[in-house]
Structure 1
Protein backbone atom coordinates (compact mmCIF):
# COMPACT_ATOMS: atom_id res chain seq x y z
CA UNK A 1 0.00 0.00 0.00
CA UNK A 2 1.27 3.47 -0.89
CA UNK A 3 0.28 6.31 1.40
CA UNK A 4 1.44 9.72 2.56
CA UNK A 5 3.98 9.54 5.34
CA UNK A 6 3.17 10.56 8.88
CA UNK A 7 5.60 11.77 11.52
CA UNK A 8 5.79 8.32 13.14
CA UNK A 9 7.23 6.95 9.84
CA UNK A 10 10.27 9.21 9.89
CA UNK A 11 12.42 7.02 12.17
CA UNK A 12 11.98 4.08 9.79
CA UNK A 13 12.63 6.28 6.74
CA UNK A 14 15.84 7.53 8.36
CA UNK A 15 16.88 3.94 9.17
CA UNK A 16 16.25 2.83 5.58
CA UNK A 17 18.24 5.76 4.18
CA UNK A 18 21.22 4.83 6.35
CA UNK A 19 20.91 1.18 5.32
CA UNK A 20 20.61 1.83 1.58
CA UNK A 21 22.63 5.05 1.14
CA UNK A 22 25.01 4.77 4.14
CA UNK A 23 23.78 8.22 5.17
CA UNK A 24 20.49 9.98 5.77
CA UNK A 25 18.91 13.35 5.24
CA UNK A 26 18.29 13.07 8.99
CA UNK A 27 15.22 12.98 11.17
CA UNK A 28 15.13 16.76 11.73
CA UNK A 29 15.30 17.47 7.99
CA UNK A 30 12.65 14.86 7.20
CA UNK A 31 10.37 16.24 9.92
CA UNK A 32 10.78 19.77 8.61
CA UNK A 33 9.91 18.59 5.11
CA UNK A 34 6.87 16.65 6.30
CA UNK A 35 5.47 19.13 8.81
CA UNK A 36 6.64 22.61 7.83
CA UNK A 37 7.28 22.64 4.08
CA UNK A 38 4.04 23.06 2.10
CA UNK A 39 5.90 22.23 -1.14
CA UNK A 40 7.19 18.87 0.12
CA UNK A 41 5.49 15.47 0.02
CA UNK A 42 6.66 12.11 1.31
CA UNK A 43 5.05 8.82 0.31
CA UNK A 44 5.81 5.42 1.81
CA UNK A 45 5.26 1.91 0.51
CA UNK A 46 4.02 -0.28 3.32
CA UNK A 47 3.76 -4.05 3.22
CA UNK A 48 2.48 -6.12 6.15
CA UNK A 49 2.73 -3.06 8.40
CA UNK A 50 6.38 -2.45 7.48
CA UNK A 51 7.75 0.45 5.43
CA UNK A 52 9.87 -1.02 2.64
CA UNK A 53 10.22 1.99 0.36
CA UNK A 54 9.65 5.68 0.11
CA UNK A 55 9.88 8.71 -2.14
CA UNK A 56 10.07 12.37 -1.21
CA UNK A 57 9.90 15.42 -3.43
CA UNK A 58 9.30 19.13 -3.49
CA UNK A 59 6.95 20.62 -6.03
CA UNK A 60 6.74 24.32 -6.74
CA UNK A 61 4.32 25.31 -9.49
CA UNK A 62 4.87 22.97 -12.43
CA UNK A 63 8.33 21.77 -11.34
CA UNK A 64 9.29 19.02 -8.91
CA UNK A 65 12.62 17.96 -7.46
CA UNK A 66 12.98 14.41 -6.18
CA UNK A 67 14.71 14.49 -2.80
CA UNK A 68 15.11 10.75 -2.17
CA UNK A 69 13.71 7.51 -3.47
CA UNK A 70 14.48 4.00 -2.26
CA UNK A 71 13.27 0.44 -1.87
CA UNK A 72 14.75 -1.78 0.84
CA UNK A 73 17.20 -4.34 -0.61
CA UNK A 74 15.20 -7.54 0.00
CA UNK A 75 12.30 -6.03 -1.94
CA UNK A 76 14.21 -4.66 -4.93
CA UNK A 77 13.64 -6.02 -8.45
CA UNK A 78 10.01 -6.86 -7.68
CA UNK A 79 8.39 -3.85 -9.37
CA UNK A 80 7.84 -1.96 -6.10
CA UNK A 81 10.02 0.98 -7.14
CA UNK A 82 8.14 1.26 -10.42
CA UNK A 83 4.84 1.14 -8.54
CA UNK A 84 5.92 3.92 -6.16
CA UNK A 85 7.27 6.03 -9.00
CA UNK A 86 4.12 5.68 -11.10
CA UNK A 87 1.94 6.52 -8.11
CA UNK A 88 3.94 9.64 -7.29
CA UNK A 89 4.02 10.73 -10.94
CA UNK A 90 0.23 10.59 -10.99
CA UNK A 91 0.13 12.66 -7.80
CA UNK A 92 2.47 15.18 -9.39
CA UNK A 93 0.43 15.32 -12.59
CA UNK A 94 -2.75 15.89 -10.59
CA UNK A 95 -0.98 18.80 -8.85
CA UNK A 96 0.01 20.34 -12.19
CA UNK A 97 3.61 19.14 -12.37
CA UNK A 98 5.17 19.17 -15.82
CA UNK A 99 8.88 18.68 -15.15
CA UNK A 100 10.85 16.60 -12.65
CA UNK A 101 14.51 17.23 -11.87
CA UNK A 102 16.61 14.74 -9.95
CA UNK A 103 20.22 14.01 -9.16
CA UNK A 104 21.77 10.58 -9.29
CA UNK A 105 25.26 9.22 -8.71
CA UNK A 106 27.14 8.86 -11.98
CA UNK A 107 27.98 5.25 -11.04
CA UNK A 108 24.37 4.29 -10.27
CA UNK A 109 23.59 2.74 -13.63
CA UNK A 110 20.55 0.89 -12.28
CA UNK A 111 18.90 4.13 -11.19
CA UNK A 112 19.87 5.92 -14.40
CA UNK A 113 18.31 3.12 -16.46
CA UNK A 114 15.20 3.22 -14.24
CA UNK A 115 14.71 6.96 -14.77
CA UNK A 116 15.42 6.61 -18.50
CA UNK A 117 12.59 4.05 -18.66
CA UNK A 118 10.31 6.93 -17.60
CA UNK A 119 11.72 9.23 -20.27
CA UNK A 120 14.49 10.69 -18.11
CA UNK A 121 17.39 12.39 -19.83
CA UNK A 122 20.75 13.47 -18.43
CA UNK A 123 21.08 17.23 -18.84
CA UNK A 124 24.34 17.93 -17.02
CA UNK A 125 27.02 16.66 -14.66
CA UNK A 126 27.77 18.28 -11.30
CA UNK A 127 31.37 17.60 -10.28
CA UNK A 128 31.68 16.23 -6.72
CA UNK A 129 27.94 16.59 -6.05
CA UNK A 130 28.22 13.65 -3.69
CA UNK A 131 31.08 13.48 -1.21
CA UNK A 132 33.00 11.04 -3.35
CA UNK A 133 31.48 11.25 -6.81
CA UNK A 134 29.97 13.36 -9.56
CA UNK A 135 26.22 13.63 -9.83
CA UNK A 136 24.12 13.56 -12.97
CA UNK A 137 21.15 15.90 -13.24
CA UNK A 138 18.24 14.28 -15.04
CA UNK A 139 14.97 15.70 -16.27
CA UNK A 140 11.67 13.90 -16.81
CA UNK A 141 8.81 15.54 -18.70
CA UNK A 142 5.78 14.33 -16.73
CA UNK A 143 3.08 14.80 -19.36
CA UNK A 144 4.96 13.02 -22.18
CA UNK A 145 3.72 9.59 -21.11
CA UNK A 146 0.80 8.00 -19.34
CA UNK A 147 2.01 6.59 -16.01
CA UNK A 148 -1.30 5.22 -14.81
CA UNK A 149 -0.79 2.09 -12.74
CA UNK A 150 -2.36 -0.84 -14.54
Structure 2
Protein backbone atom coordinates (compact mmCIF):
# COMPACT_ATOMS: atom_id res chain seq x y z
CA UNK A 1 0.00 0.00 0.00
CA UNK A 2 1.46 3.35 -1.02
CA UNK A 3 0.59 5.92 1.64
CA UNK A 4 2.07 9.33 2.34
CA UNK A 5 2.15 9.66 6.12
CA UNK A 6 2.85 13.07 7.61
CA UNK A 7 3.95 13.94 11.14
CA UNK A 8 3.37 17.09 13.16
CA UNK A 9 2.84 18.48 16.65
CA UNK A 10 -0.64 17.84 18.01
CA UNK A 11 -3.03 20.75 18.55
CA UNK A 12 -6.18 21.05 20.66
CA UNK A 13 -8.25 20.52 17.51
CA UNK A 14 -6.79 16.99 17.27
CA UNK A 15 -8.01 15.78 20.68
CA UNK A 16 -11.08 13.90 19.43
CA UNK A 17 -9.18 12.05 16.70
CA UNK A 18 -6.32 11.20 19.07
CA UNK A 19 -8.83 9.96 21.62
CA UNK A 20 -10.35 7.74 18.92
CA UNK A 21 -6.91 6.18 18.30
CA UNK A 22 -6.54 5.70 22.06
CA UNK A 23 -9.91 3.96 22.33
CA UNK A 24 -9.15 1.69 19.38
CA UNK A 25 -5.74 0.75 20.79
CA UNK A 26 -6.09 0.24 24.53
CA UNK A 27 -8.45 -1.80 26.64
CA UNK A 28 -8.43 0.92 29.31
CA UNK A 29 -7.96 4.15 27.34
CA UNK A 30 -7.24 7.59 28.67
CA UNK A 31 -10.32 9.79 28.84
CA UNK A 32 -11.02 12.70 26.56
CA UNK A 33 -10.58 14.95 29.62
CA UNK A 34 -7.09 13.52 30.20
CA UNK A 35 -6.03 14.55 26.69
CA UNK A 36 -7.63 17.97 27.13
CA UNK A 37 -5.68 18.41 30.36
CA UNK A 38 -2.44 17.39 28.64
CA UNK A 39 -2.98 19.94 25.87
CA UNK A 40 -4.27 22.82 27.98
CA UNK A 41 -2.68 22.53 31.42
CA UNK A 42 0.50 20.46 31.18
CA UNK A 43 3.34 22.75 30.14
CA UNK A 44 5.72 19.78 30.06
CA UNK A 45 3.67 17.81 27.51
CA UNK A 46 4.15 17.65 23.76
CA UNK A 47 2.31 15.23 21.53
CA UNK A 48 3.11 14.29 17.96
CA UNK A 49 0.57 12.87 15.53
CA UNK A 50 0.87 10.76 12.41
CA UNK A 51 -1.65 11.49 9.66
CA UNK A 52 -2.78 9.68 6.54
CA UNK A 53 -4.20 12.54 4.53
CA UNK A 54 -6.11 14.44 7.26
CA UNK A 55 -6.92 11.38 9.37
CA UNK A 56 -4.91 10.96 12.56
CA UNK A 57 -3.73 7.36 12.67
CA UNK A 58 -1.28 7.48 15.57
CA UNK A 59 0.29 9.64 18.23
CA UNK A 60 3.14 9.78 20.72
CA UNK A 61 3.11 11.82 23.93
CA UNK A 62 6.15 13.06 25.80
CA UNK A 63 6.89 15.07 28.87
CA UNK A 64 10.18 16.98 29.06
CA UNK A 65 11.08 18.09 32.57
CA UNK A 66 14.50 19.69 32.92
CA UNK A 67 16.93 17.28 31.20
CA UNK A 68 14.69 14.20 31.37
CA UNK A 69 11.95 13.15 29.00
CA UNK A 70 9.32 10.48 29.37
CA UNK A 71 7.05 8.80 26.83
CA UNK A 72 3.55 8.96 28.30
CA UNK A 73 1.91 6.90 25.59
CA UNK A 74 2.25 5.87 21.99
CA UNK A 75 -0.52 4.36 19.89
CA UNK A 76 -1.23 3.49 16.28
CA UNK A 77 -4.37 2.22 14.61
CA UNK A 78 -4.09 -1.51 13.97
CA UNK A 79 -4.32 -1.26 10.18
CA UNK A 80 -1.19 0.94 10.13
CA UNK A 81 1.04 -1.28 12.25
CA UNK A 82 4.08 -2.96 10.73
CA UNK A 83 4.85 -0.01 8.45
CA UNK A 84 7.43 1.72 10.69
CA UNK A 85 5.03 4.56 11.47
CA UNK A 86 5.31 3.95 15.23
CA UNK A 87 9.09 3.83 14.89
CA UNK A 88 9.07 7.14 13.03
CA UNK A 89 6.82 8.72 15.67
CA UNK A 90 9.18 7.58 18.41
CA UNK A 91 12.29 8.77 16.54
CA UNK A 92 10.67 12.18 16.05
CA UNK A 93 9.71 12.31 19.75
CA UNK A 94 13.31 11.51 20.68
CA UNK A 95 14.60 14.23 18.36
CA UNK A 96 12.13 16.76 19.76
CA UNK A 97 13.06 15.92 23.36
CA UNK A 98 16.72 16.33 22.49
CA UNK A 99 15.98 19.73 20.93
CA UNK A 100 14.32 20.67 24.24
CA UNK A 101 17.61 19.83 25.99
CA UNK A 102 16.58 16.44 27.39
CA UNK A 103 19.51 14.10 27.91
CA UNK A 104 17.57 10.93 28.66
CA UNK A 105 14.22 9.41 27.79
CA UNK A 106 12.30 6.74 29.67
CA UNK A 107 9.10 4.77 29.26
CA UNK A 108 7.17 1.85 30.71
CA UNK A 109 6.13 -1.14 28.64
CA UNK A 110 4.19 -4.26 29.55
CA UNK A 111 6.62 -7.10 30.21
CA UNK A 112 4.56 -9.22 27.77
CA UNK A 113 4.73 -6.71 24.88
CA UNK A 114 7.58 -8.24 22.89
CA UNK A 115 6.97 -6.19 19.71
CA UNK A 116 7.21 -2.91 21.57
CA UNK A 117 10.27 -4.00 23.54
CA UNK A 118 11.96 -5.01 20.28
CA UNK A 119 11.28 -1.56 18.81
CA UNK A 120 12.57 0.20 21.91
CA UNK A 121 15.76 -1.90 21.95
CA UNK A 122 16.23 -1.13 18.23
CA UNK A 123 16.22 2.58 19.10
CA UNK A 124 18.78 2.12 21.89
CA UNK A 125 16.54 1.79 24.94
CA UNK A 126 17.95 -0.35 27.72
CA UNK A 127 16.27 -2.22 30.53
CA UNK A 128 15.91 -0.30 33.76
CA UNK A 129 13.77 -1.62 36.56
CA UNK A 130 10.44 -3.34 36.99
CA UNK A 131 7.31 -1.61 38.27
CA UNK A 132 5.39 -4.41 39.97
CA UNK A 133 1.65 -4.65 39.20
CA UNK A 134 1.86 -1.38 37.23
CA UNK A 135 -1.10 -1.92 34.90
CA UNK A 136 -4.48 -1.63 36.60
CA UNK A 137 -6.39 -3.86 34.15
CA UNK A 138 -4.52 -7.08 34.91
CA UNK A 139 -1.80 -6.00 37.38
CA UNK A 140 0.92 -6.89 34.88
CA UNK A 141 4.40 -5.64 35.64
CA UNK A 142 5.92 -2.83 33.60
CA UNK A 143 9.48 -2.85 32.38
CA UNK A 144 11.08 0.58 32.67
CA UNK A 145 13.36 1.31 29.72
CA UNK A 146 15.58 4.32 29.11
CA UNK A 147 17.96 5.73 26.54
CA UNK A 148 20.55 8.49 26.42
CA UNK A 149 19.60 11.04 23.77
1:136 aligns with 2:137: no
**1:14 pairs with 19, 35, 43, which one?**
19
1:91-141 Cα distance to aligned partner (Å, 9 max, x none):
111111111110000100000110001111111111110021111111111
- Unaligned runs of at least 5 residues, structure 1: 143-150
1:103 to 85, 101, 108: 108
Segments of 5+ residues of structure 2 without an aligned counterpart are 1-5
Mapped partners of 1:14, 1:22: distance in 2: 13
Q: Paired residues, what number?
A: 142
CA contact (8 A) 2:62 2:93 kept: no
Q: CA deviation at 1:36?
A: 1.3
Q: How does 1:22-101 map to 2 (within 5 A)?
A: 22-101=27-106
For 2:124 and 2:55, the matched residues in 1 are separated by 31
Q: Which moved more, 1:7-16 or 1:102-111?
A: 7-16
1:120 counterpart = 2:125: yes
Using the alignment, how far apart are the partners of 2:94 and 2:107 within structure 1? 13
After TM superposition, the score normalised by the length of structure 2 is 0.91
Q: 2:71, 2:30 → 1: CA distance?
A: 13
CA contact (8 A) 2:94 2:105 kept: no
Q: Scaled by the length of structure 1, what TM-score is found?
A: 0.91
